[in-house]
Amino acid sequence: MTQPATRRTVLATGAATIAVGCVGCGGNDSKSAASSSTSPAGKSASPADTSASPDSRSATPADRQDTAVSGSVLARTSDIPEGGGKIFKEKKVVVTQPKKGEFKAFSAICTHQGCTVAKVADGTIDCPCHGSKFHIADGSVAHGPATRPLPAKHIKVEKDSIRLT
């Protein structure tokens, strides 16, 4: 009776061994897991791709900035009053319409000490800091202390859109 029990024990042990063998099969699965751990290596390649993406992203905003500076619509012609102008502080540009249908653009940064101009009125672009005024037609100094004109900016008018070029 003891021997059959022993055989059963042996069989049970064998079953346990088989079970361990199955765990070993699980080990094969762990090789698959190792393959999965290769995937993290693939993931490490992905971060490389991600690091490539920021490069392309960093290039993209630069392109966008270029586009924003050189191609985006700055204003509608109807936004610019005839005989006056409008200041685009974010773009640091002032667009004027000295005569009907004639549009000009200048830097909105005063050539005296670098303040941003604040007003367009009575045919001039006015700086609030020390009172300099510039003609809307050509950016030349109408009133000091500034001595240099506002630099011209290139714009392109297409239909009713004004673009910086």
CB of 89 to ligand FES, least distance (A): 14
Alpha carbons 158 and 140: distance in angstroms, whole number:
26
Q: Which residues contact 163 (CB under 8 A, 6 or more apart)?
A: 70, 71, 72, 73, 74, 155, 156, 157
Confirm or reject binding of residue 124 to ligand FES (CB under 6 A).
no
Quick one: 75 or 108, whose CB is closer to ligand FES? 108
Q: With CB under 6 A as the contact rule, which of the stretches 16-24, 78-86, 92-100, 124-132 interacts with ligand FES?
A: 124-132
Q: Is the dihedral of CA 60, 66, 69, 71 positive or negative?
A: negative
Within positions 127 to 156, which residues make up the interface with ligand FES, using CB under 6 A?
127, 129-132, 145-146
CB of 141 to ligand FES, least distance (A): 10
Quick one: 14 or 131, whose CB is closer to ligand FES? 131
Q: Calculate ∠ Cα 140-143-145, nearest 5°.
A: 100
Instruction: Report which DSSP code applies to 111.
Output: T
Quick one: 6 or 113, whose CB is closer to ligand FES? 113
HSE, CB side, 13 Å, CA atoms: give it for residue 56: 6
Binding site for ligand FES (CB under 6 A): 110, 112-115, 127, 129-132, 145-146
